[in-house]
Chains A and B, each alone.
Chain A
Amino acid sequence: DTGVSQDPRHKITKRGQNVTFRCDPISEHNRLYWYRQTLGQGPEFLTYFQNEAQLEKSRLLSDRFSAERPKGSFSTLEIQRTEQGDSAMYLCASSLVVEELFFGSGTQLSVL
């Protein structure tokens, strides 16, 4: 499969725990994006990388959130001290040219 891969597909955690998600973009894509989607809403931008540089972060990305993309390849999104409001689908996308985004299947997070 040469598409965008996200792991895990589902994550259930208790409030206060830390969680980490992984995204593997399409191999030649230099841009990588993270979006968050809650039930019944459209995705909301969180952050994006060009190669290994994190170029922009949304105000939605509180201090408990951190994203990395070492060596400009895969990316991780970590949420510390999870809260029930963090429950959502976390979507990763990648692109080679700026306008055509390819999304992964997402990681569904449930915080109990």
Chain B
Amino acid sequence: KQEVTQIPAALSVPEGENLVLNCSFTDSAIYNLQWFRQDPGKGLTSLLLIQSSQREQTSGRLNASLDKSSGRSTLYIAASQPGDSATYLCAADTQGGSEKLVFGKGTKLTVNP
């Protein structure tokens, strides 16, 4: 059974700092790994999707990496801004169709002005 763990559970940083969020998964047989953002009381917004054959994906100030052999993914946020404050969730797709994404509990990020 796939299990996804995110560390730390919460992170507080000053504005402008670069930061890394960690995600680990127990079953390396994944099709892809996705990172989402969730604002309080809201749904999820897809940030980045990394296919199993890829090592990383970039979108603006965000960079996500995937190391299947070690069961790890990281989300790097450059030059953090207060608007980045949210909960970041990673999810592993182990069936190839996104029908049953397995999510971590998330990392709550606070960027202080």
Contact = CB atoms under 8 A, between A and B. Distances in A.
Interface of A: 4, 6, 33, 40-45, 48, 55-56, 58, 91, 93, 95, 98-106, 108
Contacts of B104: 42
The CB with the most chain B CB atoms within 10 A, among A33, A103, A108, is that of A103
B89 A105 contact: no
Interface of B: 4, 32, 34, 36, 41-46, 49, 89, 91, 93, 96-106
24 contacts: A33-B98, A33-B99, A42-B89, A42-B105, A42-B106, A43-B44, A43-B103, A45-B99, A45-B101, A48-B100, A56-B100, A91-B43, A95-B98, A99-B49, A99-B93, A100-B49, A101-B98, A101-B101, A102-B46, A103-B36, A103-B46, A105-B41, A105-B43, A106-B41
Contacts, number: 63
Contact of B98 (A40, A42, A99): A99
B99 A104 contact: no
A56 B46 CA distance: 23
A41 to B, nearest CB: 6
A67 B36 CA distance: 25
B99 A48 contact: yes
Nearest to A9: B41
B93 to A, nearest CB: 7
B106 A45 contact: no
A93 to B, nearest CB: 8
